Chain A
């Protein structure tokens, strides 16, 4: 039996390129009907490496297989009158148009689509926003992480700032675009009034600056990259079979350092009395070295998994430093059935990919169909359903 879907009945047109797709995916995975509008030759995401077997091909991109699952596809040539007419017709019957870096995005007139369909929500994602002094500039994940202020906080003081893995900057905009779009759809469903939404990737990255803006306003200090945290007991530490990340003191006012000190004492760790001492200052000069002399010999005798269990028992924030193969073996993720097999019908059938990012009790996340083959709308009932 088909489970209920929270977003059933919402029709989305996704005019994406290398970004915009995760915004559409969030809708598709909760039951919206999402149509990827591709240019002749296919979405640029189809050409994004790596590929299955390292062989390029329109259905071989791993990223495309993931980001386009649950979507239908239609090929429209916006350079032709026929293509534009088809887009207008589809938009007249849609609830949401997502316009990102589709190769022909410049030909799309969102105002016109909104005029023809007053209840339509149109969301445009651009590097810097649709207007303003930087609106003409280009950007990709690296340069936007720079302009958005997150890059400066990452890395070592003695080397160039270094960007985080996985194009998280452009993905940040996709996520905020989804939140804004769904909010506007809820409003449109109540009032009949659509919305035109302008999302900036740069500004989406600015949302991730933690307390840097407030540190600047209140302390006049600019947060920059520091490499390792300047706090003993905070950072990456070696253990028997790899590394862990320890945040022994937590953030803000917590009892976690006390928990950590008790843990060390209960294990009979030599020198652990230092941690319980009222004179202990984790930011003092030499504190990290003193910390390491006590903690590292203990950690060297324990595995990541053993330390994780102990940290849980003692209520100390700590986690193993995972690499991709570890994730597929992670017992917690397996218990929750997080990774799900790709549906049949593509070169990636059976390959496990990330599944539900949340479990909605009544209207579960569901993987219904594989990414569409180029130019052929997928039947949304071909693949077996995997629910969260």
Chain B
């Protein structure tokens, strides 16, 4: 692909922290021109979230921020100054998309709400991604991925049944559900605009994509009166289905057995006569005895190297995978290398730094991060000169008068 698929699509990006910024990263990495509107007076809090290059806490040194903001450019504008608002409005007049993940009303207070922009740019696509959406009694609540996980029940359903819920150990909705749904909605609106010239407002409550990804519990409750509970690593239709210790310090392997043939292969490869009991040969019986079976398997896996065991099981068509960590995925995993997942980009202050590329490959040519994350305000001069025709002297004045800060 000579031209990236979203080349020519212009986005003015007010998103900060997690989900919103990851959404615009996805679009930027596929070629969209994303200008991140920032201010030294009101920082994207992720700029000061660890880890930092050399452990030095500074606005241009957060690895967490960097990964979420590849391929974007940053301008700093004081939105409390009317001249700052006018500059941003002038940029929006020429843009396709405006994105934010503030609480409802914040964009309006800044002078860049949808209704304030639509006369300026009738074809504008505008997405707001607050926690609970633009309407309703809880619309003003602020949230993070983890509190959305709690509210949606995702957290409460994830973990061991007899212990406190553990979820994913991360702010999961920020990393996949909300960035992907936001990007999909924006591109659907872009298609509509290309066909009709019509823009629109998109209101995405960040709790709702997560709920759309877990339909069964609410349906099962209504239809069968069943209240879902935490199941640990168990599965209703597979046994064994669990995570077992291997050699090494805190190393584990996940094994999933769906058929009786896989069970026979597993017992053979583990060399475990004690597992090959007639009463465990049928799935229904294994499901009933999974506690005893899990315990017995663990005594055998504990003697084995995880990767060797995975290879042996996979060769016999038994589904198994090592519990890998970030170090494994970066230093060791040959598939990640084959797919060129990790991208290393030269950052002005952080040097050679690691970024996620997209989890898909296009046959026509590479897509993915083109630029390291921007320094705070790195592109203020460039954008104002090229887009708005401001002279260097005019920009000097606007900086001195604390408009472009």
Which residues of chain A from 200 to 226 have any CB-CB distance to chain B below 8 Å in the complex? 200, 202-204, 206-219, 221-226
A250, B360: Cβ atoms closer than 8 Å: no
Cβ of A129 under 8 Å from chain B: yes
* In the complex with contacts A184-B362, A218-B63, A358-B181, A332-B137 CB distance below 8 A: yes
Mark out the residues of chain B between 296 and 346 whose CB falls within 8 Å of any chain A CB in the assembled complex. 314, 317, 319-330, 333-336, 338-339, 341-342
Q: Are B176 and A207 in contact (CB under 8 A)?
A: yes
Of residues 330 through 380 on chain A, the ones whose CB sits less than 8 Å from some CB of chain B are 331-333, 335-336, 338-339, 348, 351-363
Give chain B residues whose Cβ lies under 8 Å from the Cβ of A336.
Answer: 133, 135-136, 205, 208
Say yes or no for A270: interface residue by CB 8 A criterion: no
Tell me the bound Cα distance from A353 to B213 in angstroms.
11
State the CA gap A321–B153 with chains docked (Å): 6
Q: Does A116 contact B (CB under 8 A)?
A: no
CB-defined contacts of B185 to chain A, threshold 8 Å: 358, 360
* Cβ-based interface call for B113 (8 A): no
Which of B143, B147, B208, B241 has a CB less than 8 Å from the CB of A356? B208
Which one of A77-85, A134-142, A292-300 contacts B?
A134-142
Q: In the complex, A209→B256 CA distance in Å?
A: 23
Chain A nearest Cβ from B181, distance in angstroms: 5
Q: Are A6 and B191 in contact (CB-based, < 8 A)?
A: yes
A280 at the interface (CB under 8 A from B): no
Inter-chain CA distance A325–B224, complex, in Å, is 12
Given that A154-B168, A200-B339 are known contacts, is A211 also in contact with B360, CB under 8 Å in the complex? no
* A interface footprint on B25-60 (CB within 8 Å = 1, 0 otherwise): 010001000000000000101111111111100000
- Once bound together, how far apart are the Cα atoms of A134 and B327, in whole Å? 18
In the assembled complex, the Cα of A166 lies from the Cα of B320 at a distance in Å of: 19
Residues of B within 8 A of A360 (CB): 185, 188-189, 200, 202
The 8 A CB mask of B191-231 against A (1 = contact, 0 = none) is 11010101111111101110111111111111110111011
Q: Are A339 and B218 in contact (CB under 8 A)?
A: yes
Q: Is the CB of B63 within 8 A of A207?
A: no
- Asked if B252 and A161 sit within 8 Å, CB to CB, the answer is yes
Are B147's CB and A318's CB within 8 A? yes
Q: Which residue in chain B gives the minimum CB-CB distance to A31?
A: B188
B320/A176 in contact, CB under 8 A:
no
Q: How far, in whole Å, are A251 and B21 apart by their CA atoms in the complex?
A: 15
Q: Answer yes or no: B284 CB below 8 A from chain A CBs.
A: no
A269: CB under 8 A from chain B? no
For residue B171, which residue of chain A has the nearest CB?
A210
Chain A min CB distance to B156 (Å):
5
CB-CB contacts below 8 Å: B331-378 with A: 333-336, 338-339, 341-342, 353-354, 356, 358-364
What is the size, in residues, of chain B's interface with A at 8 Å between Cβ atoms? 158
A317, B147: Cβ atoms closer than 8 Å: yes
Q: Which residue from chain A places its CB closest to the CB of B201 in the assembled complex?
A: A361
CB <8 Å contact, B250 and A178: no
Chain A residue at minimum C-beta to C-beta distance from B43:
A253
Q: Does B391 sit at the interface, judged by CB under 8 A?
A: no
- A79–B137 CA distance with the chains assembled, in angstroms: 55
User: Is the pair B50, A211 in contact by a Cβ cutoff of 8 Å?
Assistant: yes
Q: Contacts of B333 on A, CB cut-off 8 Å?
A: 147
Contact A312 B192 (CB under 8 A): no
B154 part of interface (Cβ distance < 8 Å):
yes
Asked whether any CB of chain A lies closer than 8 Å to the CB of B270, the reply is no
Knowing A160-B252, A358-B202, say if A219 contacts B55 (CB, 8 Å): yes
Q: Are A328 and B221 in contact (CB under 8 A)?
A: yes
Contacts of B334 in A (CB 8 A): 132-134
Q: How many whole Å from B20's CB to the nearest CB in chain A?
A: 13
Are A172 and B326 in contact (CB-based, < 8 A)?
no
Report which residue of A65, A210, A215 has the largest number of chain B beta carbons within 10 angstroms of its beta carbon.
A210
Q: Which of A144, A168, A335 contacts B135 (CB 8 A)?
A: A335
Chain B residues with CB under 8 A of A131: 338
Distance from B178 Cβ to chain A, minimum over Cβ atoms (Å):
9
Q: Which of B133, B212, B226, B338 contacts A129 (CB 8 A)?
A: B338
Given A63-B215, A227-B166, A359–B142 Cβ distance below 8 Å? no
Listed residue (B18, B55, B144) with the most chain A CB atoms within 10 angstroms of its CB: B144
Q: Chain B residues with Cβ under 8 A from A163's Cβ?
A: 158, 233, 243, 254
Q: Determine the distance from Cα of A53 to Cα of B203 in the docked complex, in whole angstroms.
A: 36
B167 interface contact, C-beta 8 A: yes
Q: How far is the CB of A100 from chain B (nearest CB, A)?
A: 13
Closest A residue to B156 by beta carbon equals: A321
Q: B81 at the A/B interface (Cβ < 8 Å)?
A: no
Contact B254 A145 (CB under 8 A): yes
Contact B141 A308 (CB under 8 A): yes
> Which B residue sits closest to A153, measured CB to CB?
B169
The distance in angstroms between the C-alpha atoms of A336 and B203, with both chains bound, is 11
B300 to chain A, nearest CB (A): 15
- Report the separation of the CA atoms of residues A161 and B170 in the bound assembly, to the nearest whole angstrom: 13
Q: How far apart are the CA atoms of A271 and B199 in the complex, in Å?
A: 53
Residue contact A178 to B233, C-beta cutoff 8 Å = no
Q: Which residues of A contact B227 (CB under 8 A)?
A: 323-325
B261 interface contact, C-beta 8 A: no
Q: Which residue of chain B has the shortest Cβ distance to A210 in the bound complex?
A: B170
- Contact, CB under 8 Å: B218 / A196: no
Q: What residues of chain A lie closer than 8 Å to B192, measured between beta carbons?
A: 4, 6, 362-363
Between A and B, 6 residue pairs with Cβ closer than 8 Å are A160-B244, A175-B177, A312-B138, A322-B151, A324-B153, A331-B136
Known pairs A217-B353, A360-B200 / 11 extra A-B pairs, C-beta < 8 Å: A149-B326, A152-B325, A162-B159, A165-B214, A186-B5, A203-B360, A213-B67, A223-B325, A331-B138, A332-B133, A354-B218
Q: Which residues of A contact B (CB under 8 A)?
A: 4, 6-7, 22, 26, 30, 49-50, 52-54, 62-63, 65-67, 123, 128-129, 131-140, 142-157, 159-166, 168, 171-173, 175-180, 182-187, 189-190, 193, 195-200, 202-204, 206-219, 221-228, 236, 243-245, 247, 250-254, 308, 311-312, 315, 317-328, 331-333, 335-336, 338-339, 348, 351-363
The 6 residue pairs across chains A and B that have the minimum distance between CB atoms: A214-B63, A143-B321, A132-B338, A252-B49, A245-B150, A252-B45
